[in-house]
Chain A
Amino acid sequence: MNLEELKKIREKAQKDVELRQKQARVRIVVGMGTSGIAAGARDVLKTFVEEVGKRNLSDVVVTQTGEKGLASQEPMVEVFEEDKPAVVYGNMDSEKAKRVVVEHVVNGHPVSEFAI
C-alpha cells in the first residue's frame, strides 16, 4: 500500500467531504442478492462505481442491497435523487448503466426505456 498516495488523496478530497457528509445528491442502489449476482449485477455495480470515479462525481454514492424481490428483472437498480421520486431500472447491464450515469445522474433525465 502506497501510503504517500493516500495522504495526497486526503488533502485533495478534504474539500468535497464536508459537502458530501450533509447528503449525497444522488444515491444509486444495486440489488446484489444471489439471483442478482448470478444475472450479472456485479458488473453493473462495477460500472457505476468506476463511472463515479472517472467522472469525479463526488456528490453521488453507489451502494448495494440484498434481494429486490423481482428476480425476473435482475439486475435491478434504484436511483434516488434529492426531492424526486425514486426510479427503478430492470434488466440492467454495463452499457445501460453508463447511459443511466450520463442521462439520469449527470443530466437529470431518467432513462424511461429501462425503467420498470
Chain B
Amino acid sequence: MMEDIASHIMDIAMNSVTAGAKRIGIAVEKDPRTAMLSLTVADDGAGMDPETVLKVQDPFFSTKTGRKVGLGIPLLKGTAETTDGSFELTSAKGAGTRIRVTFDCRHPDLPPLGNIRDTFLVLIVSHPDVDFDLRYSVDGRTLELDTEEMKKELGDVPVNHPEVIGFLGKYLDEHL
C-alpha cells in the first residue's frame, strides 16, 4: 500500500505530529558494509502505554475516531519483516515514541527509497511549530539538518515563508 520508504516516513512522522511532538528526529542510514538500511523516527510526543504499543502494531486498530483500520505501523512492520529486516517500537506515556526499522537492501522485495527530499520538505514546511532533526546517509549522500538551528537564524521569519521554502528546496536538492 505504501509504494516507497519515503511514504512510510511521512506516515510515521505524521503519527508523531498527531501525538503532539515538538521535536522529531528522523534518520535514514545505510551501512555500506552490511547493505542494511536503517530508519529511526524518535519523537517527544505523548507516548503510549504498553497496551497501546501492542495495539498500534495490530492492523485492525486505530486511535483515530471514525475509522476502522489504522494501517500505518503494521504496514511498515510488514515491509521490514518481509525484507529480512527488523522492527522495534519503544514508547512510554509522557516519554515519547521511538521506532527503529531495518531493511536488507539486497532483498528483492525491498520497496524503493522514494523521494526523501519531498518528505523532508513538506514535513518542515507544513509544521512550522515542530522542530525536525533530519539525518541522511545513503550511498555517499549525506544530510544533517536541524530546523531548530535554522529557526534561530530566521528569527521572526517562519519556515513556511516563500523565501525559506525556496532555500530549503535547493538545500535538500544539494544534499540528497
Chain A residues close to B by CB (< 8 Å): 1-3, 5-7, 9-10, 12-14, 16-17, 20, 30, 32-34, 37-38, 42-43, 45-46, 49-50, 52-58, 61-64, 66-67, 69, 71
Contact of B72 with A34 in the complex, beta carbons under 8 Å: yes
Task: Specify which chain A residues have a CB less than 8 angstroms from the CB of B171 in the assembled complex.
Answer: 1-2
Residue of A nearest to B13 (CB): A32
Set B7, B66, B156, B166: member contacting A37, Cβ < 8 A? B7
Task: Specify which chain B residues have a CB less than 8 angstroms from the CB of A64 in the assembled complex.
Answer: 14, 122, 126-127
The contact size tier of chain B is 35 or more
In the assembly, what is the distance between CA of A69 and CA of B64, in Å?
10
- Near A by CB (< 8 A), chain B positions 135-163 give 145, 149-150, 153-158, 160-163
Task: Specify which chain A residues have a CB less than 8 angstroms from the CB of B164 in the assembled complex.
Answer: 9, 13
Contact of B66 with A42 in the complex, beta carbons under 8 Å: no
Most chain A CB within 10 A, of B18, B122, B163, B166, is at B122
Contact of A32 with B167 in the complex, beta carbons under 8 Å: no
